[in-house]
Structure 1
């Protein structure tokens, strides 16, 4: 028989084990989530996607160690709409203001709108953004010398360290949680996209001040020897140094990880490369042999490697889901004379695809797209069709939320490499024009406008006739089957109108 003392010991050990088990359950840490989002990186700019003339070992590490999607799409062929879709899970064509925004545009996302960071915040995540925003700030006229609101912090981010728009647009300052970082109140900022401020030099009036020549309208205020879009006065102590921007955002991203390593976090690390102006740090100048565009892609790859090292050093890499992608396809000559075309050599930023940024052809929206989770996602190549817009519903499910939107499909098993059943249908967008992906097919309706953009020398996908392509058999989109396959065209047009509506133009 067991004595009373022995029973007490057994009972005590059992209770202690139960308490330890409960404590373990309570302290279980949810996986962190990081979205690494590049700017104008093309399908063919990454080694794992076929690049041979450009080395991207850290991007390749993610692609080869996770799920590399061959049919991964941004919603749009330009930056603001894609970012809007990523964060809201909503087609940008549903919002008439979702287009490339000036630096003074009001906030595009409504403060009462469902967003990815809001969902994750409700699930116990600390949420942060570091890098490019380009979704508008404030409600109209912005006083940059006061806290700028609403902005990222009002649509779900606990922490934000951003640039307002793009590197080629004013204001050329960093904004931390709504306040311009390093601003001297005695030197207030003024910004305008309509007219210059008296006495302020522009690229047209003072070409001798330039260290980078402009083309196609990048000829307004000069900051750091670089002509910008828009006019700006004051705030000199807060001006960024373009060559240091990649390092600066990297340090902020690393600091965010270290500051929040003891709680689940979501970091949207929105890198600025390889958008113009391409200003690699001196460490990377000339390293690619492809000119500044190649150099800044190598710089971005290095930054990703350093960021991954930080996750590893903080023992977080095996508890962090990483999504890597780009906001749209590639562009070479886009506002500055940086020899991107002349030094291209054998490199093909668009890979086997047709078109590029601004285009309804595949290279406009089909982009590098990778999900990586060390030890949890098995390496594979997936042909499933996915869109960045689907991350909202999928990451909601990942964290235990059932929230979703009309347009965001829940594809968590696909992103985790457990299923090949991706989207069946997807509307893509380029400067307000839309087209339909359905299975292996792409249908582009007739659109007026030039076939090729004179400014950037990219085929836009415009034609007076319907275009129909079987992408499985013709990934380069050389054979328009609209006339030879009228039944398929009719089917595609019907599906397109069911989603987009009759008045799609």
Structure 2
């Protein structure tokens, strides 16, 4: 009833089977970039030639999901492979709040280090509330080198970066450029060892500040905040282009898996006085950041790995942030954590023309969502079930046929509804449940 042979068949056509030993890994994450904000994902105006070319050289992941519709929980899911509510990261982490990713969690870089990788984080961390040494840092979670901010930063001339535990001080330049500068230096210094690099941009999250040349691309637009936002996305694109060109120039093109995505959907106004650049697009989807509708956490995904991935292809099989832990561990030839619940699966069988076994469906829970009653959701095949916190109200959508989630199908699909309701009840994590390995 809930299988998806058609979407699986589409996915299997996206990949070629080829052996590549311990490839380098580069994960690029934008902040608050919407599904529809790139040219290759349908934006009619924003210019993203480098990401468009990356898509033409790899595969567009059109059902790619972040870990949550908001930043800190999404990042917790990415690095641990676990629903962020399991690890106690249920909302964005406020500075000085004492909330942080528990030291007991095991992250992707920790597992990759055990497989011989050298690891680096450059950009936004947002998995602790203090960078004063009282809470764990990226270095405590497996990063050999890190250049990061606790949460956001001034996009232009930032002053709150920490490098390997030491404050850097005031810097000149744009944060998007600075984090790629750091990444390129890391690539130059790493030598012959395989590396895993995570570049986590601060843009286009508020407060947006964009250099003049990138705003000038959109000089015909009357709204200066729109010029800022569009230019900010084009700057990210430029920086991704610099990184890809460096990999190619160093002969690392075929042996490097590069994934580009976003931590959640685009910023909505929501009456917040600082949200003045809310020009992001969720594409065909309903909702934006903070929403449990697709627009909240269905994000652009582009995967380039020329040695193994067919160029100019598209994959519609649902894949999510929680899948990165088991997938990248498999890529590196190391076991993912076995002493705790993982919510993702290894999607690498797709690269070998095989189906993906997903016993636990993709699921999300955000107790502070801003979209009416919906707080939890689960996706199985084309079907998505939404529910309120008490699981008394439900809505069932076929998000393949009805991307905008306009037609509730619970009444005319009772068997699908009951099956997914049972899965949702099993997966729900009570709000007062402490962080757990379960």
TM class by smaller structure: 0.7 to 0.9
Task: Give the aligned partner of residue 147 of structure 2.
Answer: 161
Cα shift at 1:81: 0.5
Correspondence 1:94 to 2:82 = no
Secondary structure of the structure 2 residue equivalent to 1:51: coil
Cα shift at 1:323: 1.2
Question: 1:353 and 1:373 mapped to 2: Cα distance?
Answer: 28
User: Which has the bigger relative contact order, CA under 8 A and spacing at least 6?
Assistant: 2
1:329–1:501 CA distance, 2 compared to 1 (3 A): closer
Correspondence 1:265 to 2:195 = yes
Question: 2:68 and 2:289 mapped to 1: Cα distance?
Answer: 9
1:249–1:278 CA distance, 2 compared to 1 (3 A): same
Cα shift at 1:447: 5.1
Deviations 1:175-227 (A, max 9, x none): 0111111xxxxxxxxxxxxxxxxxxxxxxxxxxxxxxxxxxxxxxxxxxxxxx
Task: Give the aligned partner of residue 369 of structure 1.
Answer: 301
Secondary structure of the structure 2 residue equivalent to 1:284: helix
Q: Given that residues 137 and 148 in structure 1 are in contact (C-alpha distance below 8 angstroms), is that contact kept between their aligned partners in structure 2?
A: no
- Per the normalisation by structure 2, the TM-score is 0.83
Task: Give the aligned partner of residue 301 of structure 1.
Answer: 237
- Per the normalisation by structure 1, the TM-score is 0.72
1:276–1:339 CA distance, 2 compared to 1 (3 A): closer
Q: Given that residues 291 and 338 in structure 1 are in contact (C-alpha distance below 8 angstroms), is that contact kept between their aligned partners in structure 2?
A: no
Task: Give the aligned partner of residue 177 of structure 1.
Answer: 164
The answer for unaligned runs of 5 or more in structure 2 is 1-19, 369-374, 434-438
Deviations 1:18-43 (A, max 9, x none): xxxxxxxxxx9732110011111111
Deviations 1:39-81 (A, max 9, x none): 1111111111111211111111222211211111112000100
Correspondence 1:444 to 2:400 = no
1:261–1:62 CA distance, 2 compared to 1 (3 A): farther
Secondary structure of the structure 2 residue equivalent to 1:468: strand
Question: 1:258 and 1:482 mapped to 2: Cα distance?
Answer: 54
Secondary structure of the structure 2 residue equivalent to 1:308: helix
Q: What root-mean-square deviation, in Å, do the aligned CA atoms of Structure 1 and Structure 2 show?
A: 2.7
Cα shift at 1:409: 0.8
Task: Give the aligned partner of residue 176 of structure 2.
Answer: 246
Correspondence 1:479 to 2:415 = no
Correspondence 1:358 to 2:344 = no
Question: 2:107 and 2:176 mapped to 1: Cα distance?
Answer: 26
Question: 1:240 and 1:431 mapped to 2: Cα distance?
Answer: 37
Name the count of aligned residue pairs. 394
Of 215, 224, 228, the residue aligned with 1:292 is 228
Of 44, 64, 74, the residue aligned with 1:72 is 64
Of 394, 398, 418, the residue aligned with 1:470 is 398
The answer for unaligned runs of 5 or more in structure 1 is 1-27, 182-237, 449-462
1:478–1:422 CA distance, 2 compared to 1 (3 A): farther
Structure 2 matches for 1:142-221, cutoff 5 A? 144=132, 150-167=136-153, 172-181=159-168
Structure 2 matches for 1:318-357, cutoff 5 A? 318-333=254-269, 335=272, 340=277, 349-357=281-289
